[in-house]
């Protein structure tokens, strides 16, 4: 008793401080994740609850085979979108932050703010804007095509190019986080490194290649993972740009989870597809963790 009181006196406040966060965390993250895993092996209905499937992994089979295997197409679409946008976001972020780095403080701040401004608006509004930019009759995109003498495109209604149009809209959205983080990382590299290299006769490109790039490696990796995860989860944009789906050509993993779970009410399959997404993100995260651990800091 004595020691319990002593323990409470010593640590009681600490537990009280973390309690609210831990409670909501357990209720709204930990418990649903575990239950979701259970549901992914069950046939679940709101009236009758969950019944274990036989074979128990049936939802995972169904996840890939329902509606003629749309989910496979959805994964493929998501991976294409991801590969293009991650590469372009990191590259454009790197180029832009390298270009604004030599500028004065005020100009740097101006560009960072200009790039960041659109990022504070919701993906819904951005997606809607692009939907109308891509409008076949009066959209801005076709106006520009016409100006340079090209044929107008059916950007979002042609199944062959709809996914490409959505991807392009993300590529053309300046990767604000990358610019800010790259700028911060480049700003923290000691000036002496560059001065020493300059004395040794290294030109600006070589200094950038041999000093800047290696020293921002960990930020680059962090951003790559950040954008990979965000692109795996792409939903809002697709949902507002092509509500009809254009013959499944723009299905992504999360639009599938949404459809199966909350339009078809096939909870088990939606949960299983959610875990496929989880697995993909886990692989990327583990890769990041290993790469960062082996990283040599300066």
Q: Which of residues 10-69 bind other proteins (CB under 8 A)?
A: 10-11, 13-18, 20-22, 24-25, 27-33, 35-36, 39, 44, 46
Among 58, 67, 98, 249, contact with other proteins (rule: CB under 8 A): 98
Query: Both ends of the chain: CA-CA distance in Å?
Result: 52
275 scored as a contact of other proteins (CB under 8 A): yes
- Which ranges of the chain would DSSP assign to H, the alpha helix? 2-25, 31-39, 58-100, 105-116, 123-133, 140-147, 162-171, 176-187, 191-199, 204-207, 213-215, 217-232, 236-241, 253-262, 267-293
Among 84, 180, 221, 291, contact with other proteins (rule: CB under 8 A): 180
Among 65, 121, 210, 264, contact with other proteins (rule: CB under 8 A): 121
123 scored as a contact of other proteins (CB under 8 A): yes
184 scored as a contact of other proteins (CB under 8 A): yes
Write down the least CB distance from residue 193 to other proteins, Å: 9
Which is nearer to other proteins, 160 or 289 (by Cβ)?
A: 289
| Structure tokens given for 50 | 């969950």
287 scored as a contact of other proteins (CB under 8 A): no
114 scored as a contact of other proteins (CB under 8 A): yes
Which is nearer to other proteins, 61 or 160 (by Cβ)?
A: 61
Helix (H, G, I), strand (E, B) or coil at 44: strand
Write down the least CB distance from residue 99 to other proteins, Å: 5
Which is nearer to other proteins, 50 or 160 (by Cβ)?
A: 50
**Interface region with other proteins, contact rule CB under 8 A, candidates 57-65, 69-77, 159-167, 272-280:** 272-280
Write down the least CB distance from residue 262 to other proteins, Å: 5
Q: Which distant-in-sequence residues (6+ apart) come within 8 Å of 268 by Cβ? A: 39, 40, 41, 42, 43, 44, 53, 59, 62
Other C-beta atoms lying within 10 Å of the C-beta of residue 53: 18
Write down the least CB distance from residue 139 to other proteins, Å: 8
Write down the least CB distance from residue 189 to other proteins, Å: 7
**Interface region with other proteins, contact rule CB under 8 A, candidates 63-71, 74-82, 155-163, 280-288:** 280-288
166 scored as a contact of other proteins (CB under 8 A): no
| Structure tokens given for 173 | 């959205």
Q: Are 48 and 250 in contact (CB under 8 A)?
A: no
**Calpha distance 65→138 (Å, rounded):** 39
**Calpha distance 168→285 (Å, rounded):** 26
Which is nearer to other proteins, 98 or 158 (by Cβ)?
A: 98
Looking only at the bridges linking them, the beta strands covering 49-52 and 42-45 are: antiparallel
Helices (runs of H) and strands (runs of E) counted in the chain? 15, 2
Among 221, 229, 291, 292, contact with other proteins (rule: CB under 8 A): 229
Q: Are 152 and 69 in contact (CB under 8 A)?
A: no
Among 172, 214, 247, 264, contact with other proteins (rule: CB under 8 A): 172
221 scored as a contact of other proteins (CB under 8 A): no
Torsion angle in degrees (nearest 10) through CA of 184, 186, 189, 194: -150
| Structure tokens given for 20 | 């609210």
């Amino acid at each position: 008793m004595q020691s319990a009181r002593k323990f409470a006196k010593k640590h009681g406040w600490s537990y009280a401080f973390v309690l609210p966060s831990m409670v909501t965390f357990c209720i709204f993250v930990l418990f649903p994740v575990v239950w979701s895993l259970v549901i992914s092996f069950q046939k679940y209905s709101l009236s009758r609850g969950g019944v274990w499937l036989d074979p128990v992994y049936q939802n995972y089979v169904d996840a890939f085979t329902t509606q003629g295997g749309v989910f496979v197409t959805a994964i493929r679409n998501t991976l294409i979108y991801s590969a293009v946008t991650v590469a372009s976001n990191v590259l454009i972020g790197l180029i832009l932050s390298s270009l604004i780095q030599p500028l004065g403080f005020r100009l740097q701040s101006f560009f960072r703010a200009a790039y960041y401004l659109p990022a504070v608006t919701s993906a819904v509004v951005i997606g809607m804007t692009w939907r109308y930019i891509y409008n076949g009759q009066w959209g801005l995109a076709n106006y520009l095509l016409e100006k340079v003498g090209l044929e107008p495109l059916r950007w979002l209604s042609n199944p062959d190019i709809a996914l490409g149009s959505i991807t392009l809209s993300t590529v053309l959205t300046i990767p604000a986080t990358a610019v800010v983080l790259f700028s911060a990382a480049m700003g923290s590299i000691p000036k002496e490194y560059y001065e020493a290299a300059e004395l040794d006769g290294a030109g600006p490109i070589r200094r950038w290649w041999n000093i800047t790039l290696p020293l921002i490696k960990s930020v680059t990796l962090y951003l790559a993972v950040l954008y990979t995860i965000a692109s795996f989860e792409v939903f809002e944009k697709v949902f507002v740009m092509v509500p009809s789906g254009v013959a499944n050509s723009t299905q992504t993993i999360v639009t599938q989870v949404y459809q199966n779970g909350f339009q078809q009410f096939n909870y088990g399959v939606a949960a299983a597809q959610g875990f496929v997404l989880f697995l993909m993100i886990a692989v990327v995260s583990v890769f990041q963790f290993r790469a960062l651990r082996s990283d040599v800091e300066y």
